[in-house]
Every structure is written in structure tokens, then in C-alpha cells.
Amino acid sequence: MSFAEKLALFTLLLATLIFVHELGHYLAARLFKVKVLRFSFGFGPKLLGFTWGETEYWLSAIPFGGYVKMAGEDPTEEAGEGDSADPDRGRGFLEQAPWKRAVISAAGPFMSLTFPILICFFAFYFTATELSSRVGYAPADRPAYAAGIRAGDRIVEVDGKPTRSFLDLTEAVSPVWERPLSITVERKGELRRFSVTPELLEEESPIESLKRGAIGVMPAARAPVISVTSPQSPAGKAGLATFDRITDVDGQPVATFAELEELLAARSAGANATITVKAMRTRPPEEKSAPPKKAPPAQEEVTATLAPVEGAEGLAAYGLGSSDLALYSVKQGSPAFEAGMRKGDQLLSIDGEALAGRHAFQVKANRAGEQPIRVAWLHEGEQREATMAQRFVTLTDEFGNSSKSLLFGVAFDLRLESYVEGEMIPSTLTFGKALARAFEATASQVRQTAITIGALFTGQLSFKNVGSLITVYDITVRSAEMGWSYFLQMMGFISVNLGLMNLLPIPILDGFGILTAGVETVRRRPMSLRARTIAAYVGLVMVVGLMIMALRNDIVRYFFTNSSGE
């Protein structure tokens, strides 16, 4: 996507959202017969325009939104000013009853908060494809695998409710935990039923804690990324390495790790079990040669011939294993590094309990806290053990938010190329279901944004989280590159932010207009001209100050953080 295309999308998004916001004010003003002097699409000098009735309609030079100019809204104009014979007397904004002014002020945010329902509906209803309910990966340490569900199974029903897409599955499972669900899957043309008890997952963030049920399945499949059990194994002797990705076996393409397991199980049991494999290996960048912008990692093809070990089957016969618990990196100075763990090592157990997967490791490590634990791992085919203790460290993200976290010091392989995209199916969302999901998505966005704004003003979140138009441009481009559906949903998210921010009781924002209308209703007299003028200046200073701070945050974030690309 060219810069011109990115800029055009950004302009379209911003112009549309501010136009919709101002349209709310315009329609409410017309409803109460307030005189609208001008409705401008854009700011600055007029490019084109015409007058219809008593209102000027402008297309202005700066296309970032628009504005509505109403008669009598200038705080330097006294309400009710003018000749009693003037036909427009009583049609000024400040001449209206407080409740009418409150409605006119609230109409802009109302449009901004409801517009996402429409655009999210379009995003959902006109989406051509969605992820199917086929299981791409079922980790061995999660409830689904323990119950018997495997990669390749298609989940067709949860507690009697049909599931076709992965979103259907998520909606059926998320509200339930620690009670069994009846799950029906289709496996090789046959229906099988399993009883699965979702586990409770608690997701922490700087602003809230969320609970949901999960059975531990992923739509994305594990790619055939391997670990080599020992340098003396057939794979090790043939030159394969942990994190190589097998692409074919004896000329037969291999797409997923499950396919590799099935193929090698059959080959190791055959009369001629020697195989030739091809693998892709990612070469690490040379030291101190990383370009300013990260380039795609270099790849090289490796070909190896493997003869199986007698008496062994499947992956083990060739000295291969899953890379699920292989360490992709070990942080220097961490408890894991000091215990002797290095990249490529394979975790085996904690306190004598064998690890079946990454989730089990995380659960056991979190449960241990800072207490000493006995860890066993495999290093170049040799089993090692050490007693170590994690420690709490304070982490600060790019937005200035601090959090405490247990430091073990290892990271697993989370590269995109280590997974295979899940199965896509034609979307069959009905009008009603798409609309319901649009309401749910918008309500969720409103809730999360309101909590975030509250956390900013109570000090739970740093104001370094606030972004300027640079952030808006960045997330607009990123969402557009993911597809028009993501672009529309991001537009909805920004619209919600615009609506809620305008409801803040800051002078010159809509929230202050609503607040003053309420105060005037109670006091039974309007604000004085002096109070209005002072409030307008204070509000302007506050808003400009917030904009400068947001711009500073973005300049630091985008131009001075990790500028080396390392």
C-alpha cells in the first residue's frame, strides 16, 4: 500500500467520524428549530459551497472532519439579544431551554457511539469468510486433549447448540467454567461425543480482570517445527536442528505437525523406514548488522536422510520431537540462565511433575511463585536438573504502565511461521445475528473505553497511553492492511473513543455543555457571560495541553523508541 493510499484511508476515516459526530448536533439543532448558520465538511477556507434555506453547506480545504455553526452559540453573545421583532429571536443556541441544549450537545456523542453499530454490522454481515470450528491444534496439557479431542476434529455441537465457526465455539464455551460440557465432533466422517470441563482463565490488564472458560483448542495448526532430541540421534547426525520446519518427507509435502506425526508413525512401522526430509531453517541475523527496519528473516533449505532407531516408533524413531517446550530464547541473568538453560533446550518437568505443554509450565511456575522449584530439562540429549527460584520484577511497557511479573527467564517459539492459518469457510451470518454481534461488539468497546478513560483520570493508567493523530494513522493503516472488515471495526473503535472523550465535562467539549445545562436547570438561571468566556479559555488550554502531551507521547514512541530496530 502506497503512502498516498494510506493517507487517503486515514483522511476518509477521520473525516467520516467527525462528520457523523457533527451531523448529530446538526439534526438535533434542526429538530428544536435552532438556526444553523453553517454545516461544513472539513475545516478552513471554503472550496465549494451552496446555501439551502437558511444554512450554508461548505466543502472546506482541510478534510479532517467538519463543524456546525449555530446562531447564538458564541459565549460573547448574550442570550436573548436582539430586537423582539426579529423573526430569528428565540432561535439561538443559548436561548434554548437547558434540556434542549443538553440534547443538542449530547447528539454528537450519541451519533459517535451508535455509528459503530452500523459499521460493525457491515463488517460482520458482508464478511465473505470466517474461521471454521475445525481444531487446528489441541495442546496435550489442556481440557480438550485430556477429554479425547484431537487436531483435525471439527466441533459441530456444544451442549446441543450447533457450532459452525470458531466464533460460535468461543461464544458457547466462554461463559462456562468448571462444569462439564457435552461436545460433539466430526472425525473422519464419524460423530463422536466428549465431556469436556472448561478451565477458568483469568486475564489481567492494567485496567481490569476478566474471567472466561476455555477448553484449550486453537483454529491455527502447529506447523511441522521440530526439536532434535540429541546430537547423537538420527536427526542430529543428519544435521537437522531444533526449530527447523519440515516441508516434505520423501517428496510428500507436510503442512502441519499433526500430519508429520501421522506420516512418520506409518513410515517407521514400514519395511523401508529410511526417509529423506527437506526442512527450512531460519538463519539468525549477523551481530550488529540489523537494518533500521526489520527485514524478513533469511531462510535456507536443509536436506537430510534419516534411518530409524530399532524398537522406536514415530517421531522418536528418528530422534525428533515437538518444539512446544523447546526454549527459543533464555534471558541472560535470569534464574533459568543462571541454572544453565540455553536456547534449544527442552523443558521436562517441575518438581517431578512432567510437563505436557506450555500451559502446564505456566500454571506450575505461577503456582510456585518465589519458592524454590526443581526443574528438569534436556540439553543436547543430556538430562539436567537444578533447583532455582523465580523472582518478581517490575516491567514497564512503552506506555509507561508498570506491572509486577515473575521472572523465569525463558521464551517459547511464537513466530508466525510456526503456525498454519486455520481453515476458512464461507460466512453464513444472518442479518439478525450480524446485527446482534454488532451491538455486542459496540457495547464491549464502549465499556472498555469508558474503563480506560476512568483509569487515566484516576491514575491507574499512565497518560503515556494517550496517542495523537500519529497513533490514529498507525492503527488505521495496520487495520486496513489486515482487510476491510478489520478497518471498519477499527473505525468503530475510534468512533467510540471520539464519542466518550467528548462527553468529558471539559469546557469546549460536549460533556461540559450537558453539565452546564444540568446546573442551570437546578439553579434556574443561565451562566454569566464572564463565566462562559473563562470556561471557554480554560477548556481550550486543557484540550491543547492534552493534544501536545499526546503528540509528545507519539514522537517518543514512534521515533525515539527502538529506533535501531534491535
Task: Please count the CA atoms within 13 angstroms of the CA of 119 that sit on its side-chain side.
Answer: 24
482 dihedral zone (left: phi>0; alpha: psi -120 to 50; beta): alpha
List the grid coordinates of 116.
Answer: 459503530
Q: Please name the residues in contact with 146: beta carbons below 8 A apart, sequence gap of 6 or more.
A: none
**How many Cβ atoms sit within 10 Å of the Cβ of residue 90?**
16
How far apart, in whole angstroms, are the C-alpha atoms of residue 236 and residue 342? Answer: 17
Q: What is the SS3 assignment for 348? A: strand
How far apart, in whole angstroms, are the C-alpha atoms of residue 162 and residue 134? Answer: 13
**How many Cβ atoms sit within 10 Å of the Cβ of residue 449?**
19
CA distances for 388 relative to 227, 358, 375, 527, 537, angstroms: 25, 18, 7, 67, 60
Rounded to the nearest 10 degrees, the angle between the axes of helix 469-482 and helix 529-559 is: 60
Exposed, middle or buried, 347 (CB in 10 Å: 0-12/13-18/19+)? buried
Given 3-state DSSP classes, what are the helix, strand and coil percentages for the chain, each rounded to the nearest 5? 40, 25, 35
DSSP H helices, 179-289, are 234-237, 257-268
For 379-407, what is the HEC assignment?
ECCEEEEEEECCEEEEEECCCCCEEEEEE
**How many Cβ atoms sit within 10 Å of the Cβ of residue 136?**
22
Q: Are 307 and 289 in contact (CB under 8 A)?
A: no
How many whole angstroms from its chain centre is CA 209? 16
How many whole angstroms from its chain centre is CA 41? 32
Torsion of CA 413, 239, 246, 354, to 10 degrees: -50
- 22 noted as active-site residue: yes
Q: What is the SS3 assignment for 152? A: coil
Given 5, 22, 199, 202, which residue is catalytic? 22
Residues forming the active site: 22
